[in-house]
Structure 1
Amino acid sequence: MTAVGFCGDWFVLSCEKKLVALHRKKSREPFVFDCSCAEKTPKGLKKDAGSDGGPSEETGSDTVLAFAVSPSGKLAALTDDSKRLVLFECEPSWRCISIRWVVRRCTSLTFSPAEDELLAADKSGDLYSFSVVDPQREGGLQMGHLSMLLAAAVSPDDRFILTADVDEKIRVSHHRSPYNIQSFCLGHQQFVSALQIPPTHPHWLLSGSGDGTVKLWDYESGQCLQSCDLRALEEVPGSDPDKDKNLAVCRLTSSPDGCHVAVLCESVSTVHFFTLGREKRLVPHSRLHLPTRPLDINFDDDGRLWVLLDSGDIPLKMYALRQNSWEHEADHLEVTRVTEALRPHWSTMNASTRATDRFEHLYKVSFDNVSLYLQKKQQRLDEQQKRTKAQKPSGNKRPKTGTSRAEVQTSS
């Protein structure tokens, strides 16, 4: 998974098998963590390594599957295809604190607001809790869904855990007693792929889905406050949106002041901007059309949007809000410094791996059995009518009688 984050003044990128941290303000030595060179699985865990039916640790690809930064920016974590869970300290300097092991491959990581806990959601639908205070302690099972988890978040007051799965559900559970469910946020028509709690609106939740919509929730009550169809925003004004078009939200990110929201969809070269006010509504602001496919987006501490592009020439762009318009900061010193430091590492990463679609295989295939039955029934009726017509005698032929003409002449 290719992802972008910020740890204070550090620009952090996870891509393929590496995590790379680059300082934005000063010319400092980059920090690079290569999962393929990391600690291997202890012998005692080899039996559990293939418990999910996938390849064992020996055949793991070491590809980074999930990455997270703590709210203060002092900690970071990643998990990879070899089932490692790696915890980092970013301040005063980068160092690896611990390497632990998860039971099954993870899909999402998130820190608690107090930064004493790291939550890992996995493909089997389970959510595990790992201690940050005791970085060597094994994780404990917190809760589980019946289907694969794709995203997780913790409310700013640390009361609730929010989890989203491939069966369109968002569950809101009490953090200290996860078996106690506060509410469900139901309304998406496809898998829920992204969750975001705006920084200045702690009681609201933004969710993105494979159905091409972004929804705003009061998550404690489960009430949907608004739904925005991104396909309608992509269409020409006055035309009907294409309901059959797959459009999966892969990133939801909010500015530090919570007033601006940026949305990125998989395999689309457009970033959607919204404004979020106190009137409980997302208001479409503008669209940013990019020359190449964006891999990830994120706001820094100053409210500027960084865009990582699938391009070897210009991998990074920065956009700042100027007079109510998002303008490209072409010659910004921070972007220049980070780009130059990133280039040697970016050139060694596989472009095909960077651009992999993560959600395409999660769409549910529907079968219309009634239409198929009616079609086959009509075919049978048509064939039956053809056979009936073929068996009927022609209207010009005389019907046969019991005595032939030759027999009549002979008898006379």
Structure 2
Amino acid sequence: MEEEVHTGEINREAEAAPALIAVHPLERSIALALGYELRVFDFEMDCAVTLTDEAYSPCHSDAIRAICFGANGRLFVSAGDDKLVKIWRTDTWHCIRTVCSDKRVSAVAISHDGLFVTFADKFGVVWIERLEEDDQGQASVDKKAVPLLGHYCSIITSLKFSPDGKFIATADRDFKIRITIFPKGPLKGAHEIQNFCLGHTDFVSCLTFICPPDCHQSFLLSGSGDATVRLWDHVSGQLLDTCDVGEKAGLLDSKEKVEYSAAVTDINALPDGSFVAAAIQGLHGVMILKCDVPARRLFIAKFVFVEESFVPTRLGLSSSAKLLWVVMGASNVSKVGVSKMAQLRVLSDLDKFLSNEHGDYPVILKDKDMPGGEKLLLQFQGSDHVTKQDAALAATATAVKVAMQNLLTKKQYSLEKRDFRKRDRNDRKFKKQQF
């Protein structure tokens, strides 16, 4: 069988962008990114938020690939395929800074002190921008960030700061997790690598930190295309435990006679590690794990089935541990004639689960019982959210799976095509111009 060869540009029209969700650390608001649209709902005002951006309208012109709140919730960042990184103040939802990237953006993060925004591009470079908002809070446009570190042409899939702010963790599709010391003067670059966390056998899709109360340091959790969630001592680079969620997911899905992919697409955790939620590709629910750091153990506690045809694409969990938000969605699903579709579910009673893991907790809230209720669903799911669309949901799940494969799985080229691509690389052209 001949090796697959990609001879042209990717058909962007057929490419689906997974829906993203982010929850304010204090659950004051929630944000959903669907295609190029950024939708925000304010729980305190009980209404949808109107975002203001004096420089650009609409806010983004292409698919949003990364969103996040800052540690204190004061800032929010969105970025994606339009090569724009937009920084928002969450009290007014006004864009205070727009940073232009040379490449499409794949991940973003805000330092815990709120002074720096970092983002990774599709070429494997992490950039950093210092925030210096003026007194009037006006938006600064067309700012250029400076490079912080690089992964040498491997797409960076996740970007996180450690809770103490000392390290920045970056993961890529070449199975690597790099732990870099975040310098005092980061605008000059981060050149000191603390460790590499190596052990995954497929792309690393997501990262999150936990900080157990009885431990003097934080620990790192990672999810991967190898269907595992792993616990790391990121300071030493030591792998503490591996939880094979794919094996459990395969048992749950054993009735289906199809090839099963159990890539971990997202993980969220409470700061103390007592609750870890994982979204798994193709699984109709959420896998809940617990982390026993003193015993160096990570284990599956429960599986929460959501519903048929509902496959979570992203999870949202605040530090208050009240609710777990689960979203399934994608944009540009042309096969079923649906340009944008999102479905939202909420898992509640997490505190009861933590005190009694054998009870019937967490529970899935009915639409009317969700925070924000009908107003929230209208904002996030649209006017037809009441209508069941099982066929559309199934097509959405398939489109998201293909999109993730395109993003995270390295393309294979023939030797001839590889040589052609090397000759046509932009960095080589730049070197020739220099000399």
After TM superposition, the score normalised by the length of structure 2 is 0.71
- Per chain length, whose mean CA-contact separation is higher, i.e. which structure has more relative contact order (CA < 8 Å, sep 6+)? 2
In the alignment, which residue of structure 1 is the partner of 2:419? none
In the alignment, which residue of structure 2 is the partner of 1:109? 108
Distance 1:222 1:301, change over 3 A: closer
Distance 1:263 1:227, change over 3 A: same
In the alignment, which residue of structure 2 is the partner of 1:371? none
Distance 1:336 1:129, change over 3 A: closer
Distance 1:167 1:206, change over 3 A: same
Runs of 4+ in 1 over 4 A off after TM superposition: 32-36, 310-314, 331-334, 348-355, 364-367
In the alignment, which residue of structure 2 is the partner of 1:120? 119
Q: Output one character per residue of 1:86-142: Cα deviation in whole Å (capped at 9) or x when no partner.
A: 110012x32111222111111100111111101101110100001123574421001
Secondary structure of 1:5's aligned partner:
strand
Rg (Cα) greater in structure: 1
Q: Displacement, 1:364? A: 5.2
**Does structure 1 conserve the Cα–Cα contact (< 8 Å) formed by 2:327 and 2:342?**
no
Q: Displacement, 1:348? A: 7.7
- Cα separation, 2, equivalents of 1:84 and 1:212: 32
The equivalent position to 1:2 in structure 2, one of 19, 35, 55, is 19
Matches within 5 A, 1:22-171: 22-32=41-51, 37-38=57-58, 62-91=62-91, 93-134=92-133, 136=140, 137-146=143-152, 147-171=154-178
Q: Displacement, 1:175? A: 1.3
- Cα separation, 2, equivalents of 1:20 and 1:366: 36
Secondary structure of 1:359's aligned partner:
helix
In the alignment, which residue of structure 1 is the partner of 2:311? 293
Q: Displacement, 1:246? A: 3.0
Q: Displacement, 1:301? A: 3.9
Q: Displacement, 1:335? A: 1.2
Task: Say if 2:370 is the partner of 1:340.
Answer: no
Q: Displacement, 1:169? A: 0.8
Stretch moving more, 120-129 or 172-181: 172-181
- Cα separation, 1, equivalents of 2:129 and 2:396: 29
- Cα separation, 2, equivalents of 1:79 and 1:107: 8
Q: Displacement, 1:329? A: 4.8
Q: Displacement, 1:19? A: 1.2
- Cα separation, 2, equivalents of 1:181 and 1:221: 11
Please, which runs of 5 or more residues in structure 2 have no aligned partner?
1-17, 134-138, 184-188, 331-340, 385-391, 414-435
Q: Displacement, 1:248? A: 1.8
The equivalent position to 1:315 in structure 2, one of 335, 340, 344, is 344
Q: Displacement, 1:77? A: 0.6
Distance 1:5 1:33, change over 3 A: farther
The equivalent position to 2:298 in structure 1, one of 270, 282, 294, is 282
Distance 1:340 1:199, change over 3 A: farther
Q: Displacement, 1:165? A: 1.1
- Cα separation, 1, equivalents of 2:106 and 2:328: 22
**Does structure 1 conserve the Cα–Cα contact (< 8 Å) formed by 2:284 and 2:312?**
yes
- Cα separation, 1, equivalents of 2:161 and 2:274: 20
**Does structure 1 conserve the Cα–Cα contact (< 8 Å) formed by 2:265 and 2:313?**
no
Task: Say if 2:194 is the partner of 1:182.
Answer: yes
Task: Say if 2:244 is the partner of 1:229.
Answer: yes
AA partner of residue 118 (structure 2): L
AA partner of residue 317 (structure 1): V
After TM superposition, the score normalised by the length of structure 1 is 0.74
**Does structure 1 conserve the Cα–Cα contact (< 8 Å) formed by 2:159 and 2:207?**
yes
Stretch moving more, 248-257 or 106-115: 248-257
Q: Output one character per residue of 1:246-279: Cα deviation in whole Å (capped at 9) or x when no partner.
A: 3221111012443100001233213110112332
**Does structure 2 conserve the Cα–Cα contact (< 8 Å) formed by 1:39 and 1:99?**
no
Q: Displacement, 1:16? A: 1.1
Please, which runs of 5 or more residues in structure 1 have no aligned partner?
41-60, 368-412
Task: Say if 2:217 is the partner of 1:217.
Answer: no
Q: Output one character per residue of 1:317-355: Cα deviation in whole Å (capped at 9) or x when no partner.
A: 233233324232535876152443332552389976785
Distance 1:33 1:348, change over 3 A: farther
In the alignment, which residue of structure 1 is the partner of 2:180? 173
Distance 1:18 1:89, change over 3 A: same
- Cα separation, 2, equivalents of 1:33 and 1:121: 25
- Cα separation, 2, equivalents of 1:365 and 1:99: 32
C-alpha root-mean-square deviation of aligned residues, in Å? 3.2
Q: Displacement, 1:24? A: 2.4
**Does structure 2 conserve the Cα–Cα contact (< 8 Å) formed by 1:19 and 1:33?**
no
Q: Displacement, 1:231? A: 1.6
The equivalent position to 2:37 in structure 1, one of 18, 22, 25, is 18
In the alignment, which residue of structure 1 is the partner of 2:11? none
- Cα separation, 1, equivalents of 2:98 and 2:378: 28
Distance 1:138 1:69, change over 3 A: same
- Cα separation, 2, equivalents of 1:26 and 1:97: 22
The aligned length equals: 342
Q: Displacement, 1:144? A: 0.8
In the alignment, which residue of structure 2 is the partner of 1:390? none
- Cα separation, 2, equivalents of 1:348 and 1:65: 24
In the alignment, which residue of structure 2 is the partner of 1:208? 223
Secondary structure of 2:372's aligned partner:
helix
AA partner of residue 409 (structure 2): Y
Secondary structure of 1:197's aligned partner:
strand
Distance 1:33 1:107, change over 3 A: farther
- Cα separation, 2, equivalents of 1:332 and 1:236: 30
Secondary structure of 1:356's aligned partner:
helix
